[in-house]
Amino acid sequence: MSLSPARRAAYDVLHQVGADDAYANLALSAVLAGTDMPKADRGLTTDLVYTTLRRRGTLDAVIATAVNRGLDKVDPRVLDILRMATAEHMYLGKPAHAVVDNAVRLTVAVGAASAKGFVNAVMRRLTATDPDSLVANATRGLSGDALLAALHSHPEWIIRAFRDVLGPDELTALLERDNEPPSVTLAARPGRMSRDELPGEPTPWSPWGTYLKGTDPGSLPAVRNAQAGVQDLGSQLMVLAMSRAEVQGADDHWLDMCAGPGGKAALLSDLLPDGGELVAVEQHRHRADLVQSALRGTPGKARVQVGDAGAVEGSFSRVLLDAPCSGLGVLRRRPESRWRRQPSDIPELADLQRRLLNHALDVCRPGGVVAYVTCSPHLAETDLVVEDVLRRRTDAVAQRAADLLPEVPDCADGLAVRLWPHRHDTDGMYLALLRKTTDSD
């Protein structure tokens, strides 16, 4: 029996993620592009990569019961193989003999032949036990957040951050939803095509979205031609809300401050009023190129500007600030982030968010609106940023954002909007709507 090419490809992706800090989606795309594997093997590669990354916390707890030393003492190459093989047994239902045999063969193939006996012994022990019993053994004696972390594969600090916002009742549902693959969602760009022209089931709430199943989005002519794009439903709803906000005075100059990779800019450009213009700012050239590509064929007047969004000049009636953040709301889509992010990242991000939000209000004309958006629910990146900025200014007020999305259930959180994976089948999104005051306010 030869080594499975799907397992080798999955290992290569996991190794890049762990050793080189690669993004899983980009590494996976690159590895798959370099193979001629059939569709079934490509699907297995994808399942192995994302299941291993999403369930890493639980997998490590299980593996630790079968290893007589700390996992930090295990060769990282070998640990990746153990994680992947244990994921096959626990979550993908692969036969025990195939799991063990492929793990041993892979150990040799990656240059760690001296560990093949170790891998064989560990995997024989684990595959001899059913998944439920493995989890029960791994969590024996644990309680509180340590138990949740082992059961649901999230670092404890992220669990605490989610509880601070969501409370305890829905916490488990959110954690488990993060461990499930997200829906593939398309957005028809309204100035270029209608939703009815896209395949898939229409989404709720967004007039542009469809859920795509069983088809590679990149194979669709509409996606290749930028008439539509892959875009989470939550992202679509942020644009919809901003487009519905009332503006006093001229509404002809819009700004997307952190525009890459361009999904929101593409919708905004198609929604511009006659004579309006969108300026899409992106600091990084390669992401700015993606924005430019997304704007191909838009009937709106739009231009891409490469540079610091906190230094952009002008006077705008609508400003979208989709701020750089920890990404804790997209852990189902970017599972490696939960293992990379640290609590120490949050203060620096919050400082940047406050700087950008202040600048957004500076360039927003009186009577205009600023939509402050993050894909993190963390209080320090959402409510506390907005409250701190408004406390230090006299020229802006928060408005009730949920009024702009009356069709979306359970999205109001005070004046802000919060979308959740387990409630809305969206990324975890936050929206605060701020209005720049006029002399008469």
Active site residues: 375
Identity of the residue numbered 264:
K
Cis peptide before 155 (omega within 30 of 0): no
Q: What is the dihedral of CA 377, 381, 382, 384, to 10 degrees?
A: 130
User: 382 vs 373, 416, 430, CA distance in Å?
Assistant: 8, 9, 7
Number of Cβ within a 10 Å radius of residue 101: 17
- State the Cα–Cα distance between residues 308 and 211, nearest whole angstrom: 34
Strand partners, 435: 369, 397
| Helix orientation angle between 233-244 and 263-271, rounded to the nearest 10 degrees | 30
- State the Cα–Cα distance between residues 359 and 380, nearest whole angstrom: 19
Q: Do residues 55 and 90 lie in contact, with contact meaning Cβ atoms separated by under 8 Å?
A: yes
Instruction: Please give the full DSSP string across 374-409, using - where no structure is assigned.
Output: ES---GGGTHHHHHHHHHT-SSEEEE-GGGG-TTST
Apex CA 385: angle with CA 380 and CA 386, to 5°? 135
Q: How far is CA 166 from the centre of its chain?
A: 18
181-192 burial: b if 16+ Cβ within 10 Å, else e: ebbbbbbbbbbb
